[in-house]
Amino acid sequence: MPKTVYVLGAGFSHDANMPLQSHILDRVKDYYVGILSGKDNDEFLKISDTFVPDRKQLEGFLEAVFSSSKTPSLEDVFTLLDQTIINKAYCHSYSWHQLDNIRDTLRRSILLIFHDALENFKKTENDFYKCLAAYWIKARIAAGRRGDPYSIISLDWDALVEDSVYWCIDNAKCRKKVDIDFCCYSSPLDNSSPHTPSILQKAMGLYNIKLLKLHGSTNWLFCPNCNRMFTGVGSKQNAWSMYAIERSCIHCSNKDSKNKTPKLEPFFITPTYLKVFDNAHIQMIWHNAHTELAEADKIVFVGYSLPEADYHLRTLMKRAIRPGTPIDVVLTQNDKPTKRTPRNLRRYYATTRFEDFFSSNSIKFYLGGVEPYFRRIIGRLDIRSKLRQINRKLTK
């Protein structure tokens, strides 16, 4: 079967109100854990008690170092923190130990923001992402257990794709038949997660949905001791207790000790100019992404503008994608220069960057946005009908 590789940028999940990178720090500064989503259950109170003091230190640091009324870029903040911590230096009155704690607080704040956005989206009546997930599941089943009809490469941290897929898995009653394959050594976070380790799925006869998250994910945690990557994908527990509150590695911590270490860490690549991809799981994902792109009969870029600063990804694509591979690019009208746009400004538009970078490929631009592009493929947004189709395919 022809193989399609979908490359999802931030624009893919923008209609679900997932925060763009340029808006993250503003959300962090305006965020109050105690009134998160208007909830006041014990989990939120626990988060407030343990997290708010660290947040005040983070806010104090941002105000002291970036005193301008304009919010700094996330790249500037993380680069300053990373470089100062690496050199074990001071920044203003903050020691590198304090900065390490501030960086961890910022990363956990980002987790809260993304999970809050996802929880709020789940309350809406938008069925588009569920129908798209159902389409991907149905296509995977139709290809047979050994099939490989497509893969999804995500450049985002959010869990919109996997949550939509698992919503369909639960409602189509096909747990332990279909699962998300992160293409690395993943482990379920605890007994509440139905996730089968990615490396075992094909051997167990599951229909695996390949999802390669090149920059990590907000539903991953990492043990700095045993190097395991944990995920709670598919769990019914609330995201705050799973990812925001500190928890220990179930394999490495001493169960008889009150001070259970090591603590699991958020596992996503922060937007810094000092990006390091030396983690074994990330390296495996990037290696598999190279293979997927090299095998692709068609590539679909969705909501990705191909910025020049993404030199790691641009290098990967230049090495892996074969000349002549057809490419679809899904953007908006604002990403294309008009006839009146001066020639020296055209390079600032995404369509121009794609044309220049993929000069040896046949490119088709779709400038109507994400949902109109996929509606041509998935048809009506009738999620119940699509779930019944999945059931029929599984029972054949």
Instruction: Determine the length of the chain.
Output: 396
Q: What is the pLDDT of residues 200-215, one digit of tens each?
A: 999 999 999 999 999 9
Position 41 pLDDT exceeds 70: no
Q: Of all helices (H) and strands (E), which one includes residue 335? A: none
State mean pLDDT over 366-395. Answer: 93
State mean pLDDT over 216-223. Answer: 94
Position 316 pLDDT exceeds 80: yes
Distance CA 38, CA 36 (A): 5
* Angle at 320 (CA atoms; ends 315, 322), nearest 5 degrees: 125
Distance CA 9, CA 106 (A): 22
State mean pLDDT over 127-132. Answer: 96
Which CATH number is correct for 4-16+126-235+264-395, 2.40.50.180, 3.40.50.1220, 3.40.50.300, 3.50.50.60? 3.40.50.1220
Q: What is the pLDDT of residue 69?
A: 65
Distance CA 202, CA 138 (A): 17
Residue 347 has a CB neighbour count (10 Å cut-off) of: 11
Q: What is the pLDDT of residue 360?
A: 94
Domain ranges within the chain, ordered by starting residue: 4-16+126-235+264-395, 21-122
Q: What is the pLDDT of residue 153?
A: 98
Q: How confident is the model at residue 191 (pLDDT cuts 50, 70, 90)?
A: confident
Count of helix runs (H) and strand runs (E) in the chain: 12, 11
Percent of the chain surpassing pLDDT 70:
92
State mean pLDDT over 328-337. Answer: 96
DSSP 13-63: GGGGTPPPHHHHHHHHHT--GGGGGG--SHHHHHHHHHHHHHHHHHHHHHH
DSSP 263-293: BPEEEE----TT-----HHHHHHHHHHHHHH
Q: How confident is the model at residue 60 (pLDDT cuts 50, 70, 90)?
A: confident
pTM for the whole thing? 0.92
- Residue 263, φ and ψ in degrees, nearest 5: -90, 140
Distance CA 342, CA 104 (A): 44
The lowest-confidence range among 192-196, 329-333, 353-357 is: 192-196
Percent of the chain surpassing pLDDT 90:
60
State mean pLDDT over 280-309. Answer: 96
State mean pLDDT over 69-88. Answer: 88
- Rg over CA atoms, the chain: 22
3-class secondary-structure state, position 76? helix
Most confident option among 27-41, 78-92, 228-242: 78-92
Mean pLDDT of the chain: 88
Q: For residue 91, what are the β-bridge partners?
A: 94
Position 132 pLDDT exceeds 90: yes
State mean pLDDT over 265-284. Answer: 85
DSSP 129-145: HHHHHHHHHHHHHHT-T
Pairing verdict, β 216-222 and 229-231: antiparallel
The lowest-confidence range among 275-289, 319-333, 362-376 is: 275-289
Which pair of tokens denotes residue 339? 């006839």
Instruction: Locate the DSSP E strands across 177-215.
Output: 178-181, 186-188, 207-213
Handedness of CA 239, 244, 247, 249 (dihedral sign): positive
